[in-house]
Structure 1
């Protein structure tokens, strides 16, 4: 038995007898990044006895930054860095400035808008100079700092958890609040995110919400497979028919690769959860993601297999890929009245070893199969 596995299996009471500071084994560390684009960004590092470590970026909407399991990264890094929010220009670059903030394991889209942007009616805010509002890609949430509410090293309860609050507000416009709790067990391989979005304002307000969950190398690699209970392919970007890369098996990095986006309709399990996995070709590691199918019934797969950007996004969404314009037109857009709220839950599980991988496959296949691709095969 290795010293690492010995530590992970030792009861908390026995660990206390063997150290003067439990931070030697696990805990939550508050840090401030201090160099370059990241200067001044506050973060929390949650680290458990099993070797799971995740960074919560307080000053980037309480999103998740770097993520590692036993020293191996699984969160994607784009090269943008965890930029200080003061550098962000939400309305720049024809609404595409969000791409300069895209980095890390989780980047959340919302709160009043997600997906591609545009100009929309704003007369419901009853402010004559503001007849319309313009949204960029995935909304304004990403560049808003959070207020830290609590940090809890619950050794008796067996969990590490942190809670923050993000306010997205403007005079004569939206006044929405995101309250987020991120939790990992002292022993375990799961990261859990619990979100509540509520309307503090007194005008009805549009609400959209998306988890841009980003996985990187080595969990993303040539031959890695998406395993999901897919009932149909609802939508695919134009590039998916031109580059010879299937939806279900990844290629090696490709110079100049154009992002491929798929919307897959998923079957839900008996517990009401959607569940998908990304499995490494060696069958010894992977990532399983699950979420509430009622709160976020839509799912996108983002393949960014470009050299130097290599990663995959697994994206639960409250809305269809066609976005706010279509949702307004067909009546499916969520409107929150004063005091109304929506709740979201996301679980990211590391699959450690062949038994974990096989168990994940079995859970997903018990829900449903997936279509074969012309470019790949799967079991």
Structure 2
């Protein structure tokens, strides 16, 4: 039955498509406002209205997809923006947004100190609203809000976020627009810290990141370069490894990365618009109690402002100018879903190869 037919069997549409606004009451999470969203596919996720509209929890039919750090959900007032202070309130969760003026390693630039991953993930949303839109029997939930990352005498950037989830689809899409609200040209860095955790991530999991080039971020990561795609047993002595990937695009210049666990017959795919998010970082952390795989689209490298300027990856926004980013997250239910991602990309690559050969003739 379609949505309009199913409505005849319920007294309230919350039986079919649910969105609840809740306020957490305990510990360092006290006062945090979140939305709990559940659709008819079996997918559930939360949106943290007080922390950059990030997504701490994602599950499907009761199975968890993200990684929750030891500090858990933490209210924005506990934020420490100095050096590595970010980690004291880093929920991780399924998604933490990093930026807007720096994403990545803490650094000092032009006499100003910047802490790890910037401020935007600790800014409460303004103009926050949500609605269930019933259109032609294909309803969807739309969640919107904006975060202002600004200070006097410094750059002034706004992130406007739109999250859309349809009735029966095992996916949702985040569309972000970052605008320079100031009157001077502004630097802009953004990174989507998507964190895959247990049980989707386990030693049995398969990691798919189709790369034209893989570059270890550190000398330590170079030691594990041949096994960047492998997941190991949880190891209390494991030291994190990070890799830069040059994603192979599909015909629409979109990147597709995924993690699949054959023991659970579940996985997650990310479809990334590579026009704006032209960098990709893999964070591999196989630690005991810190077992997580970060799939992280970005618009620059993440080794400091000066490094991004030097290597040419730093992005700039003129006064009033905007940049738009789009990522779709898709639940994979079964081996076929996972293999189809690979097949589609391989087929496109082969078709492009044949076209190039024909053009040469």
Q: Same fold (TM over 0.5)?
A: yes
Deviations 1:128-166 (A, max 9, x none): xxxx32111111112111114321111324211100100
Aligned length: 347
| Residues 58-97 of structure 1 mapped to structure 2, 5 A cutoff | 58-91=49-82, 95-97=83-85
Counterpart check, 1:306 vs 2:321: no
Distance 1:351 1:363, change over 3 A: same
CA distance in 2, matches of 1:323, 1:279: 32
Distance 1:32 1:100, change over 3 A: same
Deviations 1:149-208 (A, max 9, x none): 321111324211100100111111121100001111110111210000001111221100
- Map of 1:135 onto structure 2: 114
CA distance in 2, matches of 1:163, 1:63: 12
Residues 81 and 116, structure 2, Cα contact 8 Å, conserved in 1: no
- Map of 1:3 onto structure 2: none
- Map of 1:4 onto structure 2: none
CA distance in 2, matches of 1:137, 1:150: 29
User: CA shift at 1:240, angstroms?
Assistant: 2.9
- Map of 1:106 onto structure 2: 95
Structure 1 runs of 4+ aligned residues shifted over 6 Å read: none
User: CA shift at 1:241, angstroms?
Assistant: 4.7
| Residues 233-312 of structure 1 mapped to structure 2, 5 A cutoff | 233-242=214-223, 246-282=227-263, 284-312=265-293
| Residues 6-45 of structure 1 mapped to structure 2, 5 A cutoff | 10-45=1-36
CA distance in 1, matches of 2:309, 2:338: 41
Q: After superposing the two structures, state which structure 1 stretch, 219-228 or 358-367, moved more.
A: 358-367
Distance 1:196 1:210, change over 3 A: same
User: CA shift at 1:355, angstroms?
Assistant: 2.1
CA distance in 2, matches of 1:29, 1:83: 20
Counterpart check, 1:117 vs 2:106: yes
Distance 1:217 1:174, change over 3 A: same
- Map of 1:375 onto structure 2: none
CA distance in 1, matches of 2:281, 2:224: 19
User: CA shift at 1:356, angstroms?
Assistant: 1.2
- Map of 1:7 onto structure 2: none
CA distance in 2, matches of 1:253, 1:193: 31
CA distance in 2, matches of 1:308, 1:330: 35
User: CA shift at 1:361, angstroms?
Assistant: 2.5
User: CA shift at 1:55, angstroms?
Assistant: 0.4
- Map of 1:196 onto structure 2: 177
User: CA shift at 1:311, angstroms?
Assistant: 1.2
TM-score, normalised on structure 1? 0.87
Deviations 1:89-116 (A, max 9, x none): 212xxx1111123221100110011111
Q: Secondary structure at the match of 2:5?
A: helix
- Map of 1:219 onto structure 2: 200
User: CA shift at 1:209, angstroms?
Assistant: 0.7
User: CA shift at 1:367, angstroms?
Assistant: 5.4
Residues 49 and 128, structure 2, Cα contact 8 Å, conserved in 1: no
Q: Secondary structure at the match of 2:344?
A: helix
Unaligned runs of 5+ in 2: 351-361
User: CA shift at 1:37, angstroms?
Assistant: 0.8
RMSD of aligned residue pairs (Cα, Å)? 1.8
Q: Secondary structure at the match of 2:174?
A: strand
Residues 58 and 148, structure 1, Cα contact 8 Å, conserved in 2: no
CA distance in 2, matches of 1:283, 1:44: 27
Residues 146 and 164, structure 1, Cα contact 8 Å, conserved in 2: yes
- Map of 1:181 onto structure 2: 162
User: CA shift at 1:368, angstroms?
Assistant: 5.8
CA distance in 2, matches of 1:219, 1:331: 36
Query: Of 39, 42, 46, which aligns to 1:51?
Result: 42
CA distance in 1, matches of 2:184, 2:153: 9
CA distance in 2, matches of 1:301, 1:111: 20
- Map of 1:166 onto structure 2: 147
CA distance in 2, matches of 1:368, 1:265: 15
